[in-house]
Amino acid sequence: MAREDVLARLAELGFSEDDAGVLADHFLDAERRGKPSHGLVRVEWLASQSRDPRASARRVVAEPAFERWDGNGAFGYLTLAAICDAQLASPPARVRIVVASDAFPLGMLGYWVRQLASGGLVALLTSTSPRRLGSPEGGPPLAGTNPLAIGIPSSDGRPLVADVSMGRVTHGDVLLGRATDADLVPFGGEQAHKAFALAVGLQAFVEALAGGDSPGAVLLVAQPSADPVPALRALAAGVRLPGDS
């Protein structure tokens, strides 16, 4: 599917030209990176979500080291795009925490931290999503697949990007028909209690900061004090690092 066709369909769904560009770039990047569960399958899926294609997130608190954003009914992709643009336009002196409520769906968190790291900022981002993961010991779903993404700038021009969902599969894999809801368990096999603990910990972390019942996100952005990635690449001696293609 060519970019212009994606843009045309997104326009039909009601998105502005700029917003359609943000969404198309995200979906096409997912396809290029071999993550089709975050790719073009999401175009029609957007139409199934009860969100307003013309809504925009609002920044409701803006302090030097803290911001709070309200998704305001907008699609989360657009909320995070606005948050990233704002951080790059006005970076923190040292560090800043950005808390977003009503922030869903967000796509690949690695996409957003890569943007920030490419712009020179250390970034750590996590988010909640509908509860789908239960304890390996049984019981109801308690946490979303709650990814954790980390982006680190590098003087070699290739940021390090780690982006890990706590599920054995993602909900996108289910949308693609590659997995079923029964596969939505914490990853780790016999040590799935570890991914479960991370998913529940991140769930409560985001909820404690963002409040409310809707999915949220917490982003840390910081100025780097050091440039560790080139030395890590040299040490790896050709072993693929997270996020490298």
Q: Which stretch binds a copy of itself (CB under 8 A): 72-80, 81-89, 172-180, 187-195?
A: 187-195
Q: Does 86 bind a copy of itself (CB under 8 A)?
A: no
160-164 and 148-152 strand pairing:
antiparallel
Among candidate residues 228, 243, 222, the one with its CA nearest the CA of residue 160: 243
Q: Which stretch binds a copy of itself (CB under 8 A): 10-18, 43-51, 57-65, 174-182?
A: 57-65
DSSP states along 23-48: HHHHHHHHHHTT-GGGTTHHHHHHHT
CB of residue 156 to a copy of itself, shortest distance in Å: 13
C-alpha atoms less than 13 angstroms from C-alpha of 190 in its C-beta half-sphere: 0
Q: Does 182 bind a copy of itself (CB under 8 A)?
A: no
Q: Does 63 bind a copy of itself (CB under 8 A)?
A: yes
| Contact residue for a copy of itself among 164, 175, 176, 214 (CB under 8 A) | 164
User: With contact defined as beta carbons under 8 Å apart, do 171 and 165 qualify?
Assistant: no
**Cβ-Cβ contacts under 8 Å for 70 (sequence gap 6 or more):** 57, 58, 60, 100, 101, 102
Residues that bind a copy of itself (CB under 8 A): 63-66, 94-95, 97, 99, 122, 124, 131, 134-135, 137-140, 142, 148-150, 152-153, 160-165, 168, 187-191, 194-198, 200-205, 207-212, 220, 222, 224-229, 232, 235-243
